[in-house]
């Protein structure tokens, strides 16, 4: 008579690694989240200044403000500065995720 050997049970799969701990809301970094009022206080005035300065330079180069018109480089620089101001204002004002 032949004896059948009992099959060893298949090894259990290794447990999945535990997910990384998620910081509680409001603490995205080591030192916590910057308050919204501080971001507005530090970011909005420079953004408004860039927008106003860029608009002034652009309108001066077009001859809308003042008598001297025709500086194409001032028009380009004014538009770029105004665009940076708008971008900074958007970043400061947008809601957080």
Is 78 a member of any domain? yes
What are the pLDDT digits (tens) for 17-34? 777 665 555 555 667 777
27 domain-assigned = no
Whether 95 shows a pLDDT value over 80: the answer reads: no
Contact at 8 Å (CB) between 53 and 80? no
Total structural domains within the chain: 1
Flag whether 48 is in a domain. Answer: yes
Residue 83 inside a domain? The answer is yes
Domain residues for 83?
A: 36-93
Is the pLDDT at 59 greater than 70, yes or no? Answer: yes
Q: Examine residue 60 and state whether it is found in any structural domain, yes or no.
A: yes
Can you give the pLDDT at residue 97?
A: 65
Is 30 among the domain residues?
Answer: no
pTM score? 0.62
Query: Is the pLDDT higher at 17 or at 57?
Result: 57
Q: What is the mean pLDDT of residues 45-55?
A: 96
Residue 77 placed within a domain: yes
Residue 70 lies in a domain: yes
Q: Which is higher by pLDDT, 86 or 32?
A: 86
């Amino acid at each position: 008579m032949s004896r059948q050997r009992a099959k060893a049970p298949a090894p259990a799969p290794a447990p999945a690694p535990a997910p990384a701990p998620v910081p509680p809301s409001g603490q995205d970094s080591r030192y916590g989240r910057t308050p919204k009022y501080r971001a507005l206080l530090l970011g909005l005035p420079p953004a408004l200044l860039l927008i106003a300065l860029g608009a002034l330079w652009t309108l001066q180069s077009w001859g809308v403000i003042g008598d001297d018109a025709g500086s194409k480089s001032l028009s380009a620089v004014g538009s770029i500065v105004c665009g940076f101001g708008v971008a900074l204002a958007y970043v400061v004002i947008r809601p957080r995720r």
